[in-house]
Amino acid sequence: MSSAEFDAIAAAPGRVNLLGEHTDYNDGFVLPVAITQRTRVAMRRNGTDSFSLHALELREAVHFSFQSAPTEHFASYVYGCLALAKEQGAEVPGLDIEVSSEVPMGVGLSSSAALEVATLRCLRTLLGLRMDDVLIAQLAQRAEIEFAHVRCGIMDQMASSLASTDRALLIDTRSLERRDVPLPQGSAVLVLDSGVPRTLAGSGYNQRRSECEAAARQLGVKSLRDVRRLEDIEALGDELLRRRARHVFTENARVLQAVESRDAAAFGQLMNASHASLRDDYEVSTPELDFLVSLLQAQEGVFGARLTGAGFGGACVALCAKDALHEVAGEVLAQYMAKGYDGRQLVP
């Protein structure tokens, strides 16, 4: 991707979530960190009123216009960003658009949010738009909901737009207040792919969101963020809704505990508890994810580990001793693959 060939180029990172899973669409707290892998989007005016989109890694080219939306799913993210920029008052010309990405797809590292944020950043540069990073995240979230039809919270887009790779970002997803949180001293983040495609992530994600909304209605609150006592949740008559709400309540508490902790071991224990909650109360884990997490948790150099992302497959995140990170990755992957699974290291 040469800058000489295009009028504007922009990039945005993927993210890994350390704590706060499935809390963002419940107006709760999340703690993501950006990863080094990025998605790059380049644009040039083409003198027409239509768009040509070329995704290098997918080896796909798509042509569409505002009057004729693309049918290809990956293109819907880009189309949504273009349409929402136009809705904001931007005069969006016909464009040739090229996308190149290092962010692994389908493993829970927010490749879609990186694409959306990079697209909006590129439009901002190309057209001189007055959009700050929070508005970019909000438009990116709308693009995913309204055009890709995934009822996501705003964590992924906020992380891609605002997070850095060396500090976590605490986000209150209701107010969008945020602050940087240093990682515990001497620790580093490791991400391993379970090799299990997230085949149920879309449908399961939307189902969990609906269940949370039903639980909130039964509890008489706007969202599960507003529940003040665990006892109220335990009194719910519907056992499934009780478990879903219990995960959200306890996960919010874990995030708030973690940001006040400077101790890696204590932080790791919160990650371990998060995985158990996601496995048992939220039911978004898989046997492969559970096995990979158990291998990580058994390592002396690991403080804690859990699945990350929506679940139903994808990746695990571990907080490791910095000087043991590569040894841990090699040992765990060797044990995992010895059982016939296909894992790989994604971060760092």
Looking up tokens 């790791």 gives 268
Copy the structure tokens of residue 58: 């997918």
Q: Are residues 238 and 293 in the same domain?
A: yes
Domain C-terminal end among 129, 153, 182? 182
**For the domain that residue 56 is a member of, what is the CATH number?**
3.30.230.10
Q: Do 28 and 136 have their domain in common? A: yes
Same domain, 158 and 16: yes
Residue 218 and residue 125 in one domain:
no
- Residues 67 and 121 occupy one common structural domain: yes
Quick one: which of 46, 7, 11 has its CA closest to 128? Answer: 7
In a shared domain, residues 7 and 66: yes
Count of the separate structural domains present in the chain: 2
Task: List Cβ neighbours of 278 (8 Å cut-off, separation of 6 or more).
Answer: 21, 22, 247, 284, 285, 306, 307, 311
Domain stops at, among 139, 159, 182: 182
- Please tell me the chain's helix, strand, coil percentages from 3-state DSSP, rounded to the nearest 5: 45, 25, 30
Q: In this structure, what CATH number is given to the domain that contains residue 319?
A: 3.30.70.890
Shared domain for 122 and 267, answered yes or no, is: no
Q: How far apart are CA 24 and CA 113, in angstroms?
A: 14
Domain boundary among 133, 161, 182: 182
H helices present in the chain, as ranges: 73-87, 111-127, 133-146, 155-162, 201-219, 230-234, 239-259, 264-280, 287-297, 325-338
Measured CA to CA, the distance from residue 33 to residue 26 in angstroms comes to 20
Same domain, 218 and 166: no
Whole-number Å distance between alpha carbons of 242 and 244: 6
Q: Is there a single domain that holds both residue 226 and residue 113?
A: no
Query: Based on the domain organization, do 91 and 231 belong to the same domain?
Result: no
Neighbouring C-beta atoms of residue 134, cutoff 10 Å: 15
Q: Are 122 and 6 in contact (CB under 8 A)?
A: no
Residues 171 and 201 in one domain: no
Enclosing domain of residue 24: 3-182
| Residues carrying an active site annotation | 156
Total-model pTM = 0.90
Which residues, 6 or more positions from 259, have their beta carbon under 8 angstroms from its beta carbon?
A: 31, 168, 170, 181
113 and 36 part of one domain: yes
- pLDDT per residue as tens, the chain (348 positions): 555 699 999 999 999 999 999 999 999 999 999 999 999 999 999 999 999 999 998 899 999 999 999 999 999 999 999 999 999 999 999 999 999 999 988 787 889 999 999 999 999 999 999 999 999 999 999 999 999 988 888 999 999 999 999 899 999 999 999 999 999 999 999 999 999 987 655 678 889 999 999 999 999 999 999 999 999 999 999 999 999 999 999 999 999 999 998 899 999 999 999 999 999 999 999 999 999 999 999 999 999 999 998 899 999 999 999 999 999 999 999 999 999 999 999 998
